[in-house]
Amino acid sequence: MSVGFIGAGRMAQALSRGFISKGIVKPQKMMASDQSESILDFMKKQGVSTTNCNIELVERCDLVVMAVKPHLVADVLQEISDFFTTDKMFVSIAAGVPLEVLETNLPEETRVLRAMPNTACLVHAGTEDQLDAVTGLSGSGPAYAFATIESLADGGVKMGLPRDMATKLAAQTLFGAAKMVLESGKHPGQLKDEVCSPGGTTITAMHELERGGFRGTIMDAVEASALKAKEMG
């Protein structure tokens, strides 16, 4: 079976690398389409054929994986749907794009699947250590974040805020900070420095966090979870 990736970005690269290293699909049986030549270079180096034309990819592949960003899925479906025949299979990994949207934009009776690979795919380098580290960080991480939100809310309640408002503020604060890290591309330490005015409230609070071993405790938690994953693995 030949497999084609529409969009050759991070997920397509991680999945194709995984398919090759596990011997699931040979590179000669894979193809990737993207508008960016520099992105396609990675695929070429792996022996995967490349194209700038999504329609060519659809015509040449039995299984087509939609790996563009979610907001682009509908446009790409419109572009390829006339060339999609029912002997082919379609898989979307786009987050938040429902099956119905995929099915209504493809010919009737097309076999359509939705899959949600997790971040571990992105570091699939065949090394167990990295996968254990991902478990310690982002597998167990939501629990650390929930505990942080709860602690922030407790602090707010202690200082007089109603519980509902404190929890919402705490969650929005973490959400906003995470968004800034992802969107600004700045080092989190720099963003922290930018919000600490000399002699101000935030640096005073940071001092308390440091005194309590905040960062070391979180690092210890990631390490403990990763070591546990390795032990169980």
Q: Please identify which residue in 24, 95, 165, 191 interacts with ligand NAD, judged by CB under 6 A.
A: 95
Residue 144: which H helix or E strand, with range? helix 141-158
Q: Which is nearer to ligand NAD, 12 or 106 (CB)?
A: 12
Name the residue number minimizing CB distance to ligand NAD: 9
Number of residues that bind ligand NAD (CB under 6 A): 26
Which residue type does 211 have? R
- Residue from the set 119, 130, 138, 140 that interacts with ligand NAD by CB under 6 A: 119
Q: Is 57 in the site for ligand NAD (CB under 6 A)?
A: no
H/E segment holding residue 64:
strand 63-66
Q: Which is nearer to ligand NAD, 50 or 167 (CB)?
A: 50
Q: Mind giving me the DSSP string for 92-116?
A: E--TT--HHHHHHTS-TT-EEEE--
Task: Evaluate whether 52 touches 34 at the Cβ level (below 8 Å).
Answer: yes
What whole-number distance in Å separates Cα of residue 222 and Cα of residue 132?
10
User: Which residue of 20, 72, 112, 169 would you call a contact of ligand NAD, by CB under 6 A?
Assistant: 72
CA dihedral 30, 33, 37, 39 (to 10 degrees): -70
Give the span between the Cα atoms of 231 and 226, in whole angstroms: 9
49 binds ligand NAD (CB under 6 A): no
Give the nearer residue to ligand NAD in terms of CB position, either 178 or 227: 178
- What's CA 214's distance to the chain center, in Å? 26
Residue 6 sits in the site that holds ligand NAD (CB under 6 A)? yes
What does the binding site for ligand NAD look like in residue numbers (CB under 6 A)? 6-12, 33-36, 39, 54, 67-70, 72, 76, 93-95, 116-117, 119, 122
